[in-house]
């Protein structure tokens, strides 16, 4: 169980340093692997299902109520956007970054007769 009260300073520091946890060339690949590792567990699947429920993934963003409440629509769209972003990371496997070639064209074609 996570005890946030005992680590209030750590949580506050984390909030102050917010930014993407993934940087560099392999950030998409690392994010995909981490999300897969977390959400493939039984607990992760339950959490993901709850996030998708909170995100109203299977419901229309615009309420069927008359008149339409624009504020509620905006709130639902915010929930939906986060859930869809998580779903996108889980479903789209990124292309692995390629290593730079060790040979350049000049080295490769050195000594080749061009005429």
Domain ranges for the chain: 23-93
CA distance 80 to 30: 24
CA distance 52 to 83: 6
Q: Give the tens place of pLDDT for each residue, 2-43.
A: 555 666 777 677 667 777 788 877 888 889 999 999 999 999
DSSP states of 31-77: HHHHHHHHHTSHHHHHHHHHHHHHTTTTS-SS-SSSS--HHHHHHHH
CA distance 72 to 13: 32
CA distances from 71 to 49, 67, 78, 81, 87 (A): 25, 12, 11, 15, 24
* C-beta separation of 70 from 78 below 8 A: no
Instruction: Grade residue 109 by pLDDT with cuts at 50, 70 and 90.
Output: low
Q: Give the tens place of pLDDT for each residue, 36-81.
A: 999 999 999 999 999 999 998 888 777 676 788 888 888 889 999 9
Q: What is the pTM of this model?
A: 0.63
């Amino acid at each position: 169980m996570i005890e946030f009260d005992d680590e209030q300073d750590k949580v506050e520091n984390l909030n102050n340093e917010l930014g993407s946890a993934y940087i560099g060339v392999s950030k998409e690949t690392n994010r995909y692997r981490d999300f897969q590792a977390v959400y493939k567990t039984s607990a992760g699947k339950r959490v993901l299902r709850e996030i998708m429920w909170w995100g109203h993934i299977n419901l229309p963003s615009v309420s069927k109520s008359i008149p339409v409440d624009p504020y509620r629509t905006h709130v639902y769209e915010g929930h939906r956007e986060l859930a869809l972003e998580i779903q996108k990371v889980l479903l789209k496997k990124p292309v692995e970054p390629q290593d730079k070639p060790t040979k350049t064209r000049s080295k490769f074609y050195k000594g080749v007769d061009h005429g």
